[in-house]
Amino acid sequence: MRVSMLALAAAFTLSGCAAMPGAETAPIASEPVAANASEAQIADLVARMSLERKIAQLIQPQINSFTAEDMERYRFGSYLNGGNGGPYGDEFAHASEWLRHADEMYDASVKPLPNGERAIPTMWGTDAVHGHSNIVGATLFPHNIALGAAGDADLVRRIGHATAIEIEVTGIDWNFSPTVAVARDDRWGRTYESYSEDPDLVAKLGAALVEGQQGTPGSEDYLGDGRVIATAKHFFGDGGTEQGVDQGDVNGDISALIDLHGRPYPAAIDAGVEAVMASFNSINGRKMHGNKPLLTDVLRGDMGFDGLVVGDWNGHGQIKGCTVTDCPQSLMAGLDIYMVPDDWKALMESLIAQVRDGTIPMARVDEAVTRVLRVKQRAGLLGPDAKRPSERGYAGRYELLASPEHRALAREAVARSQVVLKNDGVLPLKPGANVLVAGTAADDIGQASGGWTLEWQGGRKDQLPRERFPNASSIWDGIKQNVTAAGGTATLAEDGTFEARPDVAVVVFGERPYAEFAGDQRDLVFRDEEGLKLLRSYREQGIPTVAVFLSGRPMWMNRELNAANAFVASWLPGSEGAGVADVLTGKRDATGRLSFSWPAKCEGQPVNSPAGALFAFGYGRSLSDTSPLAELSEDCAALAANDSANMFGSGRLGSGTSAFVGRLDGTGIEELMPNMRGDTNGAGVVLRGYDRDAQEDSREISMPQGSYFGVVQSSDTGGAYRIAYEVVTRPSGAIRLRSGDSELDVTAQFELAQAKGWREMVISEACLADVGPRLSFEAEGEVTFRISSIKREDLTEGIECSF
């Protein structure tokens, strides 16, 4: 971003879709616009724009769905990279490729046109929600839940500035952050994106991140070098859905809801936030993307927001009466930019037609375009001194990605966010101690970083190996460094085994990474017993233990708390796990305090006060607090519940389910990762995320001739298979289902289902005699189909197989 809010100028006015028939083009101004461009001058610019150019300013596609040629033709006002998107189709591309792509799209957006229309530069938005987290080698700061535990606005402000600098290195203009959700039900899969259950703490820290990213309004460096456009999201109520269901319903008295969930927004607005993102959820049954009383009357009228409102990923398509490609209701409700990742062309066409037929008044279009241009003006994207992305302040300075200063800041943030819940004196680790470090998460930076890390859903080290984190330290790295420096020895044994008896064992374990709805839970039980088994084993051997729990929320951990001598809530620390070690070894005291109530029971009912809390909001021990913790009840009826029958849904494999691909000749066998995606396997089977009801909640599976794809349960739950599917292409050869020693030819059924939309198949012993824990699709010819859910269930007697 440039330093000053430069003027609009004749050199940066209209661009156009010259090839689009019927383009409405206004006369072109020849005089320059003064350097202190006023609202009147922005209005004059808008008045000179064609309808097509205006609508293009309101369209935001994702980089994987359009080309530079499309940008030159249509002149989108902005674009984004999704959580799994990267330049030129490579989500792990070097930072220089991101900058090259930014230049390419900028150049296309301002390229002169033969008919004399002039150009408005585009801008690029990204989800850098805990550092510039899409970029290999960037600093990954702790997620917001950890920063809430640190509770320091100045720390968050410094993190915002460091993040903005790293974003500018890659030429990106706009960050979709901070999340200022007030999470009130920890079953919600986005709890870790919230600073706290307390709206005042959220307001304080959210405003600080805005200031860190944008600078202080009125200051010389506001949106200058090392600053980017910030976004407060998601307006509003995203953290208050019933039962913590992502994108669900928020119900109650509207004044009380605004007081609770709307409270962070005035603080963000006072801090100068230039963008607000609409939320997926409903308020009392009405989707926020179509909620004019809230998007316009409250946000703009009552709160005084004058920036732009951007939608979330196809969120407009969830409004009653809308589709992704046809939704005037959102614009009329107060949305200014449609985030329409893939279906941008059809949406543009429908909006243009709706303006022409009077469904959408031109005055509303002009209002939305004005808001977009106002933000661009403030960000220095308009005017005679506007620069290409690669020519801006920190652009191309790749040494600033995870610079020593930024890494030190991240390490400080990690250490200050650690919350000690129990300690009988085993912490800090004694100088000279023989320390065993156990657990698969101990040396896994991907797991420590959680979702929104290089990929939308993040991933463990089998999916995101260490080489994806070249500028980082794991928790194990930090422990080894600190223990050795203090004269002790440290040994890593992920499976917990040892030859020489240790003085103490540090067990690192926790939730696997997830994002959004993929992290929703029906209760707060932590079912992965890797850590529990290790802790109990060491207790039986008389070895003191420290439990280091990685999670995106408080959970029912009574069993682990009982088994451990010390228990540390480490949240999702990111790329500087050494900050965890700084507290464990006493280099820093434990100063983190809970910004969420910790539940006493496992069932998952919301706990937002001392009532029902094992540890209340604000709890946390210093290392010197070794007071005993009473034995906790380990009774939990929910532990008996079994999720393993739900094999795939919401874009994730279920508990105990694996997916695999291979060739029918026995080669190319490969297990897929937890989010069941991949396009580089030896079988040639391509699995891509597909949006059915929500972002990447389904998979599109393209199978070459002679390949197979399947799923398998670690334990057989029994029952028939029920699969939601859609056949995209007619198979060019036989398609079979196989389970155990039996097979079923479904070629005719796939041929019939092709292009018929979503259907459901039920596969039982009635048609596949040996139905068991493993089911595979075998393709003798090429075929592409989609799957949104796979589950097993007992059928009522008499129900037949169906397709």
Contact 75, 54 (CB under 8 A): no
The pair phi, psi for residue 492, each rounded to 5°, is -100, 125
Cα–Cα–Cα angle for 270, 392, 59, nearest 5°? 65
The one-character DSSP state at 576 is B
CA distance 195 to 145: 5
Cα separation, 399 vs 166, in Å, equals 10
Q: Cis ω on the peptide bond leading into residue 178 (within 30° of 0)?
A: yes
User: Which pair of tokens denotes residue 727?
Assistant: 């056949």
Tell me which of 72, 117, 343, 516 is the catalytic residue: 516
Place of tokens 């913790």: 629
Count the neighbouring beta carbons within 10 Å of the beta carbon of residue 743. Answer: 15
Q: What whole-number distance in Å separates Cα of residue 278 and Cα of residue 330?
A: 10
- The amino acid present at 355, given as its one-letter code, is V
Task: Return the number of other C-beta atoms located less than 10 Å from residue 493's C-beta.
Answer: 16
Cβ proximity of 453 and 467 under 8 Å? no
Give Cα separations from 119 to 125, 257, 756 (angstroms): 19, 42, 43
How many helices and strands in the chain, by DSSP H and E?
20, 32
DSSP 27: P
CA angle 792-728-738, nearest 5°? 40
Active site residue 679: no
CA distances, 88 to each of 92, 460, 568, 691 (Å): 10, 25, 42, 21
Residue 85: CB atoms within 10 A of its CB come to 21
Residue 685, class by beta-carbon neighbours within 10 Å (0-12 exposed, 13-18 middle, 19+ buried)?
Answer: buried
One DSSP character per residue, 679-694 reads S--TT--EEEEE-SSS
Catalytic residue among 312, 336, 455, 560: 312
Cβ 61 vs Cβ 5: under 8 Å: no
Contact indicator for 452, 446 with CB cutoff of 8 Å: no
For CA atoms 646, 650, 654, 657, the dihedral sign is positive
57 in Cβ contact with 377 (< 8 Å): no
Query: What's the chain's length in residues?
Result: 803
- Report whether 472 contacts 402 (CB < 8 A): yes
516 catalytic per annotation: yes
447: enclosing H helix or E strand: helix 445-449
Tokens of 664: 């029918």
Active site residues: 312, 516
